[in-house]
Amino acid sequence: YNRNEKQVFSPDDPVQVIFRYKDVTTAYHGVKRARFNGKGALTSQISALLLGYLNENGVDTHFIRTLSDEREQLCRMIEIIPLEVVFHNRICGSLATKLGVEDGMKPENTILDLCYNNDELGDPLINRDQAVALKLATYPELDMMYDIVRRSGQLLTDLLHQAGIELVDAKFEFGRAADTGAIIISDELSPDTCRMWDEETGERLDKDRFRLDLGDLVPSYSIVLEKLRNVMETEE
């Protein structure tokens, strides 16, 4: 099937899939759309580093490895759970609008939001009881998802901080692994799905370059990849 920013193929193995990251970018639930040459290669490589880092640090994701074309990844097949959990270190974007606070306000706690992944409805915010009522997940699965997001959010915040990048927020998706049934992180983790700010300059290095028409999307994503590579290579 073909989702907006990625294409999915089935290889021969029944419990694996191939994701191809595309140059298409969408915002505001598909209302705004554009193509950026080279964007897919960048989000694929950033996502590979971040998902790989979580795998190595005890949080299982669907990511297995990058293929010879750097835009493609071999991933574990999952049964999709149509929910998103958004982790916020700062209150930005739609949450700032909703709460009527300044964009970028930094609360003392972290905030987790649960959304129903449904384009037609505009991915609305829902709660645990509503998710269970729709049979999207069970209460124990929701507990597990929240626990995974808290651990991953902290791991990624710390890793990006070492790279001189502030993780402002991050969107997580999940599935049940086809082979074990375990709840694992799916989809991608990149500047298309997480807000990332340069700690030194305060510049936005994420999809807000497109949402807010700030320009320089590809150069900003390149900075994220380069900064991440610098810290991850010295760690090994």
Which residues here bind ligand C5P, judged by CB under 6 A? 86, 92-95, 123, 169, 171, 193-195, 207
Q: Which two tokens stand for residue 146?
A: 């929240």
Please, is 104 exposed, middle or buried when counting C-beta atoms within 10 Å of its C-beta (0-12, 13-18, 19+)? Answer: middle
Fill in the amino acid letter for 90.
R
CA terminus-to-terminus distance, the chain: 36
Q: Smallest gap, in angstroms, from Cβ of residue 43 to ligand C5P?
A: 11
Residue of minimal CB distance from ligand C5P? 93
Measured from the CB atom, the residue of 163 and 170 that comes closer to ligand C5P is 170
Q: Which lies closer to ligand C5P via its Cβ, residue 82 or residue 164?
A: 82
The distance of closest approach from Cβ of residue 13 to ligand C5P in the complex, given in angstroms and rounded to an integer, is 28
We find the least distance from the C-beta atom of residue 198 to ligand C5P, in angstroms, to be 16
Q: Which structure tokens are listed for 200?
A: 């030194």
93 vs 153, which CB is nearer to ligand C5P? 93
User: Any idea what DSSP says for residue 132?
Assistant: H
CA distances from 3 to 21, 25, 153 (A): 10, 11, 25
Number of neighbouring beta carbons within 10 Å of residue 188? 25
Smallest separation (angstroms) from ligand C5P to the CB of 134: 18
CB 113 to ligand C5P: min, Å? 8
Token pair recorded at residue 221: 């994503």
**Which one, 72 or 123, has the nearer CB to ligand C5P?**
123
| Cβ proximity to ligand C5P, 82 vs 178, nearer residue | 82
